[in-house]
Structures are given as structure tokens and as C-alpha cells.
Amino acid sequence: MRNRIFSAFVILFLSILIILPLSITFLLSVVPVWSEAIPNEFGLIWWKEILRPAYVKAIFNTFVVAGLSSICIVVYGIVGSYLFTYYDFMGKDFLFSMILSPTYVSCTVVSLGLIVAYVPLRNTLWMMILGNFVVVSPLVMKYVHSSMIKISKELIEASYSLGSSKMNTFTKIILPLSRQGILAGIILSIGMCMSALSIMLMLYNAGWITIPIYIYLENTTGTLGIAGVFSTILIVVTLMTVYLVDYVSEKYAGF
Amino acid sequence: MKYEFEKYGLLFFIGIVPVLFFFYPIFLMVQMSFHYEGAFGFSNYVKFLSSKTFIQGLFNSFFISTISVIIISLMGLMIVMSVRDYDNVKRVIKLISSLPMVFSSYIFCIALIYAYGRTGILTHLFSKFGIDFPIHKFLYTKYGIIFANIVFYLPYFIIPLFSSFEEIDPNLEEAAESLGSHGFHKFRRIIFPQVLHGFITGMLVSFLLIFNQISIVLAIGTGKTYTLTYLLFSQYERARIGMANTIATVSLISTFVIAFMFQRILRVIRR
């Protein structure tokens, strides 16, 4: 009984800490002027405001950057996972640690390194994609690898012994059976690339401003309503991401 | 032959990426930190060590990360211990906890300010009941950054710790209980040693993430409280690339030293 009460308290505590502040972000987007602690006037003025071409472009840019980055990240994640699961070679663990190392280094350090090393790409769309790729791809590879490693080796051997080619086995057996990890990786990648600020802070250019950059710029100039709208859009995307990852994990848990 | 060709082809493709886009840029950055006005030397490092701001930034990074990780690990352990027997509660906590993991920490901090800041909703609501909600008093200081770190990075500690607890053999616990070990004794002698590896790994991951993050410091520190990553960004914005490279190198060395220390601890535990 005492443990149950404590469990309920823990859920309440985490909800106050995590969910409540997120719901306040939504309030920011529907309060025209937030001058008092409890707002007394509500409206969609900030939501109408984001229909301005500059803001629409920011939303478009976010989807383009996140989409293109995710394509590269997922392809690399699948190929890398395939290599680490089905091939043996010297220094396998070392290479895997090398690939995972950007995860533990500051995004600002990664950004500065890319700027220093690839000067011609500075302030281009490609640099933004590269930044996302370096930071997010290790996580996605980890996801896909953990899913691919669960596939029974006997199944793959049976496929080869029945005359199936490597490519055929890969597309017909390995990919479908590791879809849980791949889908979770795709969703995670899109979610992370869409909300990435740390990596974009130093890599963005004026023509490719994304939603997180706009939130940062709007917040520093004091226009919190727009920041609230963009934050709400990102929250919805994030919630969908969390829900989809959970759903995908549950649905294909048996594979 | 074909197998070997495929293997080395894939190996080249996968291996070249971190080399080209992570290690080569890092190498160039470290190399450039030793260049000052066209000549090789340690001038940037001398400047770094003689600047109160940079040393304070380094201290702040370690202070904030250490205190945050200590609190996160104690809170995380308590939470996981108390709900580990209830699958439904675990599921809800995992779901709530996974939110910050895919969420922008900067937006999260803006939300925290509107909830717990001086004119925040919660501060106001509590004041209506005559309670002075204390968070607003320190939200804009380094303790506010620690608070935001705890809220944002707690899940990074909780979720792996749940996995460690799930791996504990229930028979071992039953055997301990039948031999008269209960409560804190059981926790200290039976449970904790089994999750210690996951606990230390969780601490390492949280420490590195907090040490290297910038968004929370940007949103809550507002330029008054600064860490190494914040100083790196501000030096870059002022086009002082040499000093930015130096700070980045110091940050990398610190990260390496922390990871090395934790690895040593893990090795001792394994023995």
C-alpha cells in the first residue's frame, strides 16, 4: 500500500516537472499579451501570424532539413548495422565505439570542427544536414543494430542454403524482420533533427532558418507568442514521435 | 573473394564516415588551437589559463555537472526502486520520461521559466495559497541550470536503470529474504551490487550529456552563468575562432578525462 502511494506520488511529481511546463508552452501560443501570471485573454493571433511567408518558410525548411538528414542517417544506420551484425573483422568493437563517439561530445564542438574542416560548405544547407548526420546517426545505428542482432542466424543460413542471393536475403528477410528498429530509428531521427538547436546554432544560414532557430531568435528578441506556436508544433511532432516509437516497439515486439 | 570484397567495401564506407566528419574535423580544430597569429605556440592556452572568465566557465561546467548528476542518480535510484514491481506504473513513467529525450532542451527551458519563473504560473498559484514557491529565487542562477538539468536529464538515467533492475534474478532476492535479509540490508548487499554497473554507466552518460550541453545554459543562464560550451559559442559568435578552438579542445580533454575515470571505476567494479 505504502509503495502504491509512493508510485502515485512519483507519477504526479514527474508530471508536474515534465508535462506541466510543456502545456504552458501551448498557453504561450494562445495568449496575445502575457502581462500577468494568469492570463485573462486568449486568441489565435500568434497562430495567424505564422502564416506569414517567412514563418511558413521556416516550417518548410525544418521539414526539408530533417527529411534529407534522416534519409542519410537511416541509410547509413541500416548499412552499418548490417556490417556489424553479419560480418566479422578485426577491430569491430573499436570501430563501433568510434562511430558512437560523437554522441558524447558537445554539439558545439562537433559544429566548430565541421566549420573548421569544411570551409566551402559553411552556411549551406549541406552543412546543416552534415551536422545532424554526425550527431544523430550513431543513435539510429544503435537502434537498428539492436533490432538486427535479434534475427535468428539459422533463418539467414536457411535462406542462403535455398539459393537466395545476399541482396535477396537482405531485402526479403533482414529488412522486414528488423523493421521495428528501422521504423523507430526513422521516427527518432526525424524527431531529433526537427528539434535540434545545439547543432544548428553554429551551422545555420539565413536562407535556411529552421523552427528551433526561429524559437531561439524570437525568444532573444522577446516575441514569445511565435516561439510558443513553433514550440507547440514541435511538441506535437515530438509527442507523435514518442507515441509512434512506443506503438512500433509494441507492435513488432514479437519479431 | 566476393565475400571479402563486399566486407571491405562496406567496412570502408562505414569507417570513412566518422574519420571524415568527426575525427578529421576534431584533429584540425585541435591543431588550430595551437596557432596564434600565424605561428605555432601555446598563446591561446596561456590566454585561457590567465582568464578568470574561462577558468570560471570550466569550474561552472564541472560544478553544475557534478551536482546535477549526484541529485539525478539519487532521485533516479529512489524512483526506480519504488516502482519497479508495478508494470503499469513503470510504463507510464517510461512514457513521461521519454518526452525530454526527443524534445528540444531550449524549448523545455522556456517552458520551465513560464512555469516556475518569477511571474510563472506555478509560482503565482502557490502564492495564492500563501506558499512561497522557492524555485523562482534561484531559477536564473547556476542552481536554476542544475534544476533544469535534473528535470531534463533524469530520464537518461532512469530508463537504463530500469533495464538493470529488470535483469536482477528474482530467485536471488527470494533467497536473501529467506535468509533474513530485508529492507536496506537487502538493498545494500543484494540489489545494489547487481545494478551498480548500470548505475555508474547511467552516471557517466548523464555527466557527459550535461557537461556538453549548451541549450539549457543559453536559456536559463542568460549570459550571467556560463559554462565551457557557452563560452565556445560566444567566442565563435565574436569571430574569435582561435580561442573557440582552444575552448573546444579543453572541453574534449575534459570529456576524455571524465570518461576515462568512469571507465576505471567500472573496471574496478567488474573485478
Residue A89 has its nearest CB partner, among B7, B22, B154, at B7
* pLDDT at position B27: 94
In a domain, A35, yes or no: no
The most confident of the ranges A6-15, B82-91, B159-168, B198-207 is: B198-207
The most confident of the ranges A37-41, A97-101, A243-247 is: A97-101
Give this complex's ipTM.
0.83
Candidates B76, B54, B77, B57; CA nearest to B65 is B57
pLDDT at A253 over 60: no
In a domain, A30, yes or no: no
Other Cβ atoms closer than 10 A to B87 = 9
Whether residue B7 and residue A87 make contact (CB cut-off 8 A), yes or no, is yes
Interface of A with B in 98-157 (CB under 8 A): 98-99, 101-102, 104-110, 112-114, 116-118, 130, 133-134, 137
Tell me which chain B residue has its CA closest to the CA of residue A4.
B83
Mean of pLDDT values over A8-24: 79
pLDDT in tens, B53-63: 999 999 999 99
Mean of pLDDT values over B54-81: 92
In a domain, A21, yes or no: no
**Chain A partners of B233 at a C-beta cutoff of 8 Å?**
108, 201-202
CA distance B179 to chain A (A): 23
Domain count, chain A: 1
The per-residue pLDDT of chain B, averaged, comes to: 85
Among residues of chain A, what percentage have pLDDT more than 70? 91
Integer angstrom CA distances of residue A108 from B79, B91, B234: 32, 34, 11
**Spatial contact of B64 and B142, defined as CB atoms under 8 Å apart:** yes
- Any B CB within 8 A of A26 CB: no
* pLDDT at position B102: 62
Residue B212 amino acid letter:
N
Q: Tell which wins on pLDDT, B94 or A59.
A: A59
Q: pLDDT band at A255, cuts 50/70/90?
A: very low
Among residues of chain B, what percentage have pLDDT more than 90? 31
Mean of pLDDT values over B202-212: 89
Candidates A91, A71, A84; CA nearest to A144 is A84
Coil vs helix vs strand at A93? helix
**Chain A partners of B17 at a C-beta cutoff of 8 Å?**
76, 99, 137
Instruction: Give the domain extent around A76.
Output: 44-251
The three three-digit cell numbers of residue B35, written as one number = 596557432
Other Cβ atoms closer than 10 A to B62 = 15
CATH of domain B51-270: 1.10.3720.10
Q: pLDDT band at A252, cuts 50/70/90?
A: low
**Chain A partners of B11 at a C-beta cutoff of 8 Å?**
83, 87, 89, 95
CATH number at residue A83: 1.10.3720.10
pLDDT in tens, B89-142: 877 887 777 777 666 788 788 888 878 887 777 787 788 788 877 777 888 888
Contacts of A196 (CB under 8 A, 6+ apart): A107, A131, A132, A135, A136, A212, B104
CA distance B68 to B81: 20
CA distance A46 to B223: 28
The per-residue pLDDT of chain A, averaged, comes to: 84
CA distance A232 to chain B (A): 10
**Spatial contact of B213 and A198, defined as CB atoms under 8 Å apart:** yes
* pLDDT at position B48: 92
